[in-house]
Structure 1
Amino acid sequence: MKISLTRRTVIPALLVLTLLAAFALYLFQPWRAFTTTTVNESLPSAKPAASAPAAKMGTGDKMGTGDKELARGRFVSHEHDTSGTARTLGLADGSRVLRLEDLKTSEGPDVRVYLSPRSAAEVGKGLGDGAVELGKLKGNEGNQNYAVASGTDLSRFHSVVVWCERFSVPFGAADLASMAR
């Protein structure tokens, strides 16, 4: 059987291949395997009272008076190598923050941070009912803070998950161990 390559068959075939390649590039974003976004936000602290002097809070500094660590955990890898620490912090003003410290993971096309009712080992099966999204991952390396909405019952959540929304897979997760005394 002889295949005839004419302009009438080659041009539509090239157009289809070009569209498929563009879609694949959009979906997988392979260049992200070679990029890094580093974020280094300061350790959060409730705003000091008007009479108290302002203290500069930086990475590695201690928390402010009245602020406390509620839970913490170390990341374990799932679909991508992931390391670092997740901490939930209660600030003196009553607000709560999730802090990722020394995070190191891969960049991805649509990566987000979640609180999950499942353990870090179980999130490979999915986030679980009632998981709460805290926002898009700000950077794949460094220190970053995510506000936890008031009224969120932190005792319902067992892990923090760096989750790829596009492919529904965890990059990594950290079990949250309570710091209650």
Structure 2
Amino acid sequence: MRRRAVGITTAAVAVVVAAVALPLFQPWRLLTDRVVDEALPGTAPISTTSSSTTPPTVSAHPAKPTPVVKPQPKVLLTGKLITHEHRTSGTVAVLALPDGGRVLRIENLDTSDGPDLKVWLSDAEVTPGRDGWHVFDDGAYRSLGSLKGNHGNQNYPIPADVRLDTFRSVAIWCDRFNVSFGAADLKSA
């Protein structure tokens, strides 16, 4: 009878622990990926397909098309992501857009999926290894939003009131556990 009571109590505790731990830690995210491939801001995607079934017409006097040169984004700051809590690689760039806006561009991102991941600008120095895992919320930081995907290329608008000279790094930050998955120092381009 006593063994049965111990078994039931153990099972009940295991169920309660699982009910709390699974939503908190979300261990299945270690096996999932979200791929995002956004175009570089200010550039138009090139399409080589057409939905028209009508053959093109040829003019007797073809006019030379005038090339349209669109202004390109200007690279202000760049950096390379390093690994912290989870293996992370890719590059970051702060771009000034032709319309006057600014965007943080992350390219070739490769990191783990995780709960509550954010993209932060921070005044913290990027430190390799465990010493760099928890420093990004110690001083000034600004969240640019949730990480859109753990693989690929993505853009994060930088609000007009953000002074870039205040920030020196970018962090992929797990807000739930207050730890950096990876980070990059921002250097002048």
Alpha carbon RMSD of aligned pairs, Å? 2.0
Find the residue that maps to 1:108 and give its secondary structure. Answer: coil
Residue 135 (structure 2) aligns with: 126
- Counterpart of 2:112 in 1: which secondary structure? coil
Structure 1 spans left out of the alignment, 5+ residues: 46-54, 59-63
Query: Residue 23 of structure 1: CA displacement?
Result: 1.2
Partner residue, 1:56: 44
C-alpha distance in 1, partners of 2:134/2:44?
42
Deviation at 1:71, TM superposition (A): 0.5
Q: How does 1:134-153 map to 2 (within 5 A)?
A: 134-153=144-163
Q: 1:9: how far off? A: 5.4
Task: Tell me, yes or no, if the aligned pair for 1:44 and 1:57 is still in contact at 8 Å.
Answer: no
Q: How many pairs does the alignment contain?
A: 163
Q: Does 1:16 align with 2:22?
A: no
Find the structure with the greater CA-based Rg.
2
Q: Deviations over 1:41-75 (max 9, x none)?
A: 11011xxxxxxxxx6247xxxxx505211111111
**Residue of structure 1 equivalent to 2:34:** 37
In the alignment, which of 75, 95, 99 is matched to residue 101 of structure 2?
A: 95
1:80-139 Cα deviation digits (max 9, x unpaired):
111000000111211110010000000111111000101221743421322000011100
Unaligned stretches of 5+ in structure 2? 47-69
1:161 aligns with 2:171: yes
Paired with 2:30 and 2:170, the residues of 1 have a C-alpha distance of 23
The residue type equivalent to 2:133 in the other structure is G
Amino acid corresponding to residue 18 of structure 1 in structure 2:
V
> 1:69, 1:78 → 2: CA distance?
26
Q: TM-score, normalised by structure 1?
A: 0.82
Amino acid at match of 2:75: E
Question: Structure 2 vs 1, CA of residues 124 and 10 (structure 1 numbering), >3 Å: closer, same or farther?
Answer: closer
Whether the aligned pair in 2 keeps the contact of 1:126 and 1:168 (CA below 8 Å) is no
Alignment of 1:96-111 (within 5 A): 96-111=102-117
Q: Distance in 1 between matches of 2:7 and 2:90?
A: 51
